[in-house]
Chains A and B, each alone.
Chain A
Amino acid sequence: MRKVVHNVPLFLALGLTLALPCATLTSCQASGPNKSIIVGSKMDTEGGLLGQMIRLVLIHHGYQVVDRIQLGGTALVRKAILEGQIDIYPEYTGNGAYFFHQANQPVWKNAHQAWQRVHDLDLAQNHLVWLPPAPADNTWAIAITDQLAQTAHLKTLSDLADYINKGGSIKLAGSDEFVNSPAALPSFEAAYGFHLSPQQVLTLSGGNTATTEKACAQGTNGVNAAMAYGTDGQLAAFHLVVLADDKNVQPVYQPAPLVRQAVLLAHPDLAGDLEPVFALLDEKTLQTLNAKIVVEGQDSSTVARQWLSEKGFLP
């Protein structure tokens, strides 16, 4: 008897945890699942910008939209769309190489083929549709200071390789991943025929392009080159220039809306509504818009709305 009474709290805990969901189930059987479109995006600046664009365009065309923008990192957002927790989000074509473990195939270095490949694979395996991408490439790149570019006449990575091989002084800041992943710095080194000694590389473990570019702009530890993404907004503010990848070493990362097939079938006009918007988002445009968020501190939805009305997509 005593034993049972003393276990009362335990039973209470179990009972309540079991009872709560049951109560919620019975009390609202009537209302059906939500019919609105859930827009998600990754947590970074460009993710927020493109997510807002999708959201604003869809609202303008009369869709019911739920805002799940800047949800989390790539892995989590990908999981969310596979689980049906979001319906649409902007993703980069080049990431298909990692989603489908085909990182060493050359197809990812060609813009159209990369889009086609990831489109076909995702449609067949996951019932996800890749809508037409934006003509911008947000791939890994190497940026150098304006000053170095002018004094040493560097425009492309081939120029940089010459400069390094002739003994020019260089120190590159990059994240752990950029320095060590075979797809990044090692692939640049192999293709252009240069080699950076450990003294010429500053590894910022866990660093993003914002930190590496800042290190480069401020000349921290003598850094004068940095890992960068093609569409980073802060490049101009930091007085950095991106060196052209003239041998097309890197996979192409074009942003495109990725949507669940079921949602697209229910709203077939959706693709046509978004296509003209993404068609106008080239590298320069994305750099400028990203800069408004990062450098000027404007809100991503304000920047997106302003650009969309400038281009006539919104009144």
Chain B
Amino acid sequence: MVKRKRLSSLKDRFFSGRALSWAVIVTLVLVFLPLYRLDPNRVVLGPPVYFAQVLSVSPMLWLVVLLGVIVTFFLRGAFQEFFLLLVALSLWCFPTLTWPQAGQLSQELRVSPDVAFWLVQVLAISRVLVRKKASRRLVVTLRIVVLGVSLATLLGGGCAALSVIKEANSAQVFERLGQHLSLTVGAMVGALIVGVPLGAAAARSRWGKLLFQSVSLLQTIPSIALFGLLMVLLAGLTRSFPSLQSWGVRGIGATPVEVALTLWAILPLASAVQAGLRMVPSDVIRAAQGLGFTPSEVFWKVELPLAMPSALAGFRVAVVQTMGNATLAPLIGGGGLGWFLFQGIGQTSPDMVVLGVLLVLIVTGVADQLLKLLINAQQRRLRNVAFEV
């Protein structure tokens, strides 16, 4: 009896069904699906490369990956997650050692990621996401280690041979990233200035509601039509007031994009503010009035703080939406990360498109998580204040 119990705990420890399935899936993917493609140049597709083939090209190196996968069979929890992430990461940087010539910019040869590559990435990330609570110190430490190692290899040129990274001329990436962020920030400032008062107005007056509805109509104008319209409007404006030009106001470039993004961001923001204010219980307002609060005090000290969670959630949605919409900026010369998408489509370079998509995903994801942290912190503070009162 005792012996069986120990056995089962051993089995539990080493071959837990759920942990095992991750390892099995990763192994199957690596063995049966093509890992890379060796393209002769940027537009022509080359032959697929399987894991068995890379193993024969440089056995010592890829045995490490194989070992990493085997190790995941015997691990569970935080360490399995850690090893899966390491295997996924090694797929990014090992081509640089296997085909060093592909890393040189003058070389036309390209190592493109294929199905197995992306599936392993997806599996590793899913493994991270299925964990419900990431509060354990071990988990957090291991994740920080992986993040640090990935950033170091990326910046140190460790992934240079991979076609997607080869598309990323670093000066270009930072320039476009800067443009993307500045477009988003500019649009969000505009949306806050107009959207918050508009949402507040819509919650209480009929005129505000009417204005709100007309703004939501703006949402239906197709982007290219809106850009064309804005260019003519802004060009006319700068012709009548030439001094606007020295402020950077132009019919093409960042200005029309920021205006369009602002118009698109107003709706989610204003409707969240409106919903937040509507949800404030009328008892609370009456109680505040009974305490002798002036109408403006009722708004600033009672209604606004209570509407804050809804408003902040709307702000988060608006930011994420704006970052996505900002990819349309190249249509009117506004730059941003969308530039990689449009150029990639025009040049039949899927790698360039993938690079653009990855960058947009990463930037949006980071912004979303940061806002989530901020909102949580704000709400915690609000709750603490409430307790103190």
Contacts and interface: CB of A to CB of B under 8 A. Distances in A.
Interface of A: 1-3, 5-10, 12-13, 16-17, 21, 24-25, 28-29, 31-34, 40, 43-45, 68, 70-73, 75-76, 79-80, 83-86, 208, 210-211, 213-214, 217-218, 234, 237-238, 293-297, 299
B327 to A, nearest CB: 14
Contacts of A234: 43, 348
B333 A297 contact: no
Given A10-B205, A297-B167, A17 B193 contact: yes
B89 interface: no
Residue with the highest number of chain B CB atoms closer than 10 Å, among A8, A13, A71, A299: A13
Interface stretch (B15-23, B195-203, B310-318): B195-203
A238 B347 contact: no
A29 B342 contact: no
Contact of A34 (B45, B227, B241, B245): B245
B169 interface: yes
Given A10-B197, A295-B42, A31 B232 contact: no
B204 interface: yes
B198 A13 contact: yes
Using C-beta atoms within 8 Å of the partner chain, give the interface range for chain B: 35 or more
B232 A83 contact: yes
Interface of B: 41-45, 108, 166-167, 169, 172, 193-194, 196-198, 200-201, 204-205, 207-208, 211, 224, 227-228, 231-232, 235-236, 239, 241-247, 249-253, 295-296, 299, 330-333, 342-343, 345-349
Given A9-B198, A299-B169, 5 more contacts: A5-B299, A21-B244, A24-B243, A73-B224, A294-B349
A262 to B, nearest CB: 13
A2 B198 CA distance: 18
Contacts of B345: 208, 210
A295 B108 contact: yes
Given A33-B242, A210-B348, A70 B330 contact: yes
A32 B242 contact: yes
B168 to A, nearest CB: 11
Nearest to B227: A76
B243 A73 contact: no
A6 B41 contact: no
Contact of A85 (B211, B247, B250, B349): B250
B117 to A, nearest CB: 20
A83 B256 CA distance: 14
Contact of A10 (B207, B232, B246, B253): B207
A83 B235 contact: yes
Contacts of B197: 9-10, 12-13
A44 B247 CA distance: 29
A10 B208 contact: yes
B241 A25 contact: yes
A45 B249 CA distance: 27
Given A17-B193, A33-B242, A79 B232 contact: yes
Contacts of A297: 42, 166-167, 349
Contacts of A9: 196-198, 200-201, 208
